[in-house]
Amino acid sequence: MERLWFEPAVEGLFLHTLNGQISPPLAAKLKRIGIDLGEKLKPAYPAPVWAEAISITGAELRPELDPDARCDWMGELFSSGYASTFSGKAMYALLKILGPRRTLLRVERNFRSVTNYVSVQVDEILPDRYALTFNHVDGIPYFFKGIIDHSGKELGAPRKSSDTVVTDGSRLTLFIDIRPTVDSPFPRREDLNRQPSPNAQEVRL
């Protein structure tokens, strides 16, 4: 199966959030790799093309940031832009009703509205504290972190995902704390080696 990102992803990021910020040279770079913003958008784009577009655009617009910070920033922009699309508005309206816990348990389904391959395992490793493991992040793990952080902010989460991010470039684990108040940092070092709790859930379609 070819790994793809769908049209609403490109629409939300490049035609909504970044509208007016794409210079002709940047547009030309994107066109060369397969994303032509001057034409009708395609129904889907290969994952490697999408990942390259994220890296190219971040480097062009935020050259002062390191690559991980650029991807984090691009992820937040993506989440903001997708929320302004037709499908994104409907999804965020539902998630605000569901609340943080049920939103986490359906995070894979949420990603499937913009891509056909992202799988996310959700483990509750301590009460109200979760580990989200992404199976494919295409060398841009902090892009996914930015998406999760901005989505949480939009939904009223008390804080961003933990700065402890485990990744090998293709897989990513984020730690999410949905407690209203926090009296200690999360995760603790010893948590990283804990087995999933009996309440661990793997989200599949």
pLDDT beyond 50 at 203: no
Is residue 63, in this structure, part of any structural domain at all?
Answer: no
Q: What's the first-to-final CA gap in the chain, in angstroms?
A: 16
pLDDT beyond 60 at 135: yes
**Average model confidence (pLDDT) for the chain?**
82
Is residue 130, in this structure, part of any structural domain at all?
Answer: yes
Is residue 17, in this structure, part of any structural domain at all?
Answer: no
Is residue 166, in this structure, part of any structural domain at all?
Answer: yes
Cis peptide before 187 (omega within 30 of 0): yes
pLDDT beyond 60 at 16: yes
The residue among 120 and 167 whose pLDDT is bigger is 120
pTM of the model: 0.81
96-110 per-position pLDDT tens digit? 777 777 777 788 888
The residue among 96 and 144 whose pLDDT is bigger is 144
- Give the chain's domain count: 1
Is residue 76, in this structure, part of any structural domain at all?
Answer: no
Query: Which residues partner with 39 through β-bridges?
Result: none
Is residue 24, in this structure, part of any structural domain at all?
Answer: no
Do 175 and 160 contact (CB within 8 A), yes or no?
A: no
In this predicted structure, which of 37-41, 47-51, 88-92, 184-188 has the lowest mean pLDDT? 184-188
Cα(176)–Cα(58) distance, integer angstroms: 25
Is residue 129, in this structure, part of any structural domain at all?
Answer: yes
pLDDT beyond 60 at 10: yes
Torsional sign, CA 157, 69, 126, 151: positive
Is residue 133, in this structure, part of any structural domain at all?
Answer: yes
The residue among 191 and 111 whose pLDDT is bigger is 111
Q: Which domain holds residue 152?
A: 118-202
The residue among 187 and 98 whose pLDDT is bigger is 98
Of 61, 43, 63, 54, the closest CA to residue 2 belongs to: 43
26-56 per-position pLDDT tens digit? 999 999 999 999 999 999 999 999 999 999 9
Instruction: pLDDT band for 1, please (50, 70, 90 cuts).
Output: confident
